[in-house]
Chain A
Amino acid sequence: MIKLDPSWLDNVTKPSRYTGNEWNMIKKDPATVSVSVALAFPDVYEVGMSNLGLKILYNILNRINDVVAERVYAPWVDMEAVMRQNDVPLYTLENMRPLTEFDVVGFTLQHEMSYTNIINMLDLAKIPLLASARDEHHALVIAGGPCAFNAEPLADFVDFFVLGDGEETIGEIANAVRTWKKSGKIGGKNAILEQVAAIEGVYVPSFYEVSYRDDDGCVAAVKVIHPAAKAVVTKRIVRDLDTAEYPTKPVVPYMDVVHDRVVLELFRGCTRGCRFCQAGILYRPVRERRPETLLKLARQIVDSTGYDEISLTSLSSADYSCLHHLVTDLIQEFKNQGISVSLPSLRIDSFSIKLAEEVQQVRKSGLTFAPEAGTQRLRDVINKGVTEKNLEDAVGAAFQAGWSSVKLYFMIGLPTETDEDIRGIADLAYKVLNLYKNIKGRRGAKVTVSVSSFVPKPHTAFQWYGQNSSAELERKQQLLKSLLKDKNISFNWHDVEISYLEGVFARGDRRLGQVLLEAWRQGARFDSWSEHFKYDVWMNAFKKMNVDPEFYNLRNRDINELMPWDHLSSGVDKKFLQREYQAALAESFTEDCRRGKCSNCGVCSGLGVKIIDWEGKA
Chain B
Amino acid sequence: MTKLRLEITKGEEIRYISHLDYARTIERALRRTKMPLAYSEGFNPHMKLSFASALSVGVTSMAEYMEVELTDQVSTEQLRMALAQQLPPSIVINRVKEVVGKQAALMAVVNIAAYRIVVPWQTVEAPEAAKIALEKFNNSPAVLYIKENPKGRREIDIKNYIAEAVISNPTPEGINLTMLIKITPTGSVKPSEVLKVLTEDFALPVNSKSALIIRLGLYVETDGVRVSPLEMR
Contact = CB atoms under 8 A, between A and B. Distances in A.
Contacts of A11: 209
Give the contact-size bracket for chain B.
35 or more
Nearest to B212: A6
Interface string B42-80: 011111000000000110000000000000000000000
Nearest to B40: A338
A303 B32 contact: yes
Contacts, number: 78
B58 to A, nearest CB: 5
A448 interface: no
Nearest to B89: A21
Interface of A is mostly: loop
B32 A305 contact: yes
Contacts of B209: 6-7, 10-11
A599 interface: no
Interface in A10-25: 10-11, 15-16, 18-19, 21-23
Contacts of A215: none
Interface string A306-334: 11100000000000000000000000000
Contacts of A337: 31
A301 to B, nearest CB: 11
Given A23-B88, A362-B44, A305 B58 contact: no
Interface stretch (B12-20, B155-163, B198-206): B12-20
Contact of A306 (B30, B58, B90): B30
Contacts of B22: 254
Give the contact-size bracket for chain A.
20 to 34
A252 interface: yes
Interface of B is mostly: mixed
Given A306-B28, A306-B86, A16 B16 contact: yes
A29 interface: no
A87 interface: no
B21 interface: yes
Nearest to A20: B13
B40 to A, nearest CB: 9
Contacts of A210: none
Contact of B16 (A19, A256, A305, A306): A19
B210 A6 contact: yes
B37 interface: yes
A214 to B, nearest CB: 57
A151 to B, nearest CB: 36
Contact of A23 (B28, B34, B211): B28
A528 B63 CA distance: 42
A403 to B, nearest CB: 14
B92 to A, nearest CB: 14
Contacts of B45: 338
B18 A255 contact: yes
Contact of A19 (B14, B32, B207, B212): B14
Nearest to B119: A6
A166 to B, nearest CB: 28
A418 interface: no
Contacts of B57: 15-16
A255 to B, nearest CB: 5
B98 interface: no
Contacts of A9: 16, 58
A261 B14 CA distance: 20
Interface string B77-101: 0000000001010100000000000
A293 interface: no
Contacts of A362: 43-44
Contacts of B90: 21
B58 A10 contact: yes
A252 B28 contact: yes
A10 B59 CA distance: 10
Interface of B: 13-18, 20-22, 24-25, 27-32, 34, 37, 39, 43-47, 57-58, 86, 88, 90, 207, 209-212
28 contacts: A6-B210, A7-B209, A10-B209, A15-B57, A15-B58, A16-B14, A16-B16, A18-B16, A19-B14, A19-B17, A23-B88, A252-B28, A254-B14, A254-B24, A255-B18, A256-B21, A303-B34, A304-B32, A306-B29, A306-B30, A307-B28, A308-B27, A308-B28, A308-B31, A338-B31, A338-B39, A338-B47, A360-B43
Which are the 10 A-B pairs with shortest beta-carbon distances? A306-B28, A15-B16, A306-B31, A7-B209, A21-B13, A306-B32, A254-B17, A254-B21, A16-B16, A16-B17
Interface of A: 5-7, 9-11, 15-16, 18-19, 21-23, 252, 254-256, 303-308, 337-338, 360, 362
Given A254-B14, A255-B17, 9 more contacts: A6-B212, A15-B57, A19-B13, A21-B13, A21-B88, A256-B24, A304-B32, A308-B28, A338-B37
